[in-house]
Amino acid sequence: MTNATKLALEESLKHLLLKKPLDKITINDLTTDCGISRMTFYYHFKDIYDLVEWSCLEDARIALQGKKTSSTWHEGLLQIFDAVMENKPFILNVYRSVGREQIENYLFALTCDLLMGVVTEKSKDILITEEQKIFIADLYKYSFVGIMLDWIKNGMREDYHGIVDDTATALYGCIDNAIHNFAAKNKRLAIPAFLPVLQAFCPFMTSMTYITAIIV
């Protein structure tokens, strides 16, 4: 029942945003439209902006269901644009009333989950750290969000299918390369740590001889 009430409040919010800007909507407007008491609203949310944040994250969760693998990330990115476009009045109103930060956080939540799913899958059995996986996902997350924010800022007029295709073309193979570059770096950095141990057993080997043997 709790989630059903939250979803009902989200629908009321989106309905009201078709009529007036976010900063003109009151708690009373929402509770009247939704048919609940003010006490019920405050049981679920501390204010309207809390409802906005929850709505953004809930839409993000729904948009990305089953779209977090390397074979579906292109479709997942398209689904993100679909979700934003379907909520165009809501997104534009929040962007103009609250500012860039709220929408930016919404898009970060969307793209971070998508990219971490892809990076995790592609780095399976490859020697990179969790921090490096997060760094790779963050690198592309900021790129995706920057492109989407420009699109939103310009009123979502450009056909986003072309944006998604261009993004997929530009990034083809990039995540794989980043993972393998980090793996190669980790291998290089690991060599000096093992060198004193090996030389203790093989004192006749020089550092360069050992490194050459490892690389070969």
One-letter amino acid for residue 198 of the chain: L
Tokens of 7: 């979803």
What would the two tokens of residue 68 be?
């977090």
What is the tens place of the pLDDT at every residue in 126-136?
889 999 999 99
Radius of gyration of the chain (CA): 24
Residue 137 CB neighbour total at 10 angstroms: 22
User: Of 14-28, 67-81, 188-202, which range is least confident?
Assistant: 188-202
80 membership: H or E segment, kind and range: helix 73-86
What was the pLDDT predicted at 64? 63
Quick one: how many helices (H) and strands (E) in the chain? 11, 0
Distance (Å, whole) CA 10 – CA 123: 37
Nearest to 55 by CA among 20, 96, 22, 19: 22
Pick the CATH number of 46-186 from 1.10.3720.10, 3.60.40.10, 1.10.10.60, 1.10.357.10: 1.10.357.10
Average pLDDT for 182-190: 87
- How many Cβ atoms sit within 10 Å of the Cβ of residue 57? 14
With 50 as the cut, is the pLDDT of residue 95 above it? yes
Q: How far apart are CA 68 and CA 113, in angstroms?
A: 7
- In the three-class reduction of DSSP (H, G, I as helix; E, B as strand; rest coil), residue 70 is classed as coil
Q: H-helix or E-strand containing 135?
A: helix 130-153
- List pLDDT tens digits, range 7-31: 999 999 988 988 888 888 999 999 9
| Distance from C-alpha of 211 to C-alpha of 206, rounded to nearest angstrom | 9
Predicted confidence at residue 26, as pLDDT, reads 93
